[in-house]
Amino acid sequence: MQFIQYTFMCLYIGAYLFYHWSEKAFPEVLRAVNTWVMWGFLAWGGYWVVKVVLDCLRLGAKSQMTPVNVRNGILLAILNFIPVLLMALFMLQEGFVEK
Per-residue pLDDT of the chain (99 residues; tens, 9 = 90+): 778 888 888 888 888 889 889 988 888 888 888 889 889 999 999 999 999 999 999 999 999 999 999 999 999 999 999 998 988 888 888 755 555
| pTM for the whole structure | 0.79
What is the dihedral angle through the alpha carbons of 63, 47, 5, 32, rounded to the nearest 10 degrees? Answer: -170
Angle at 72 (CA atoms; ends 71, 77), nearest 5 degrees: 100
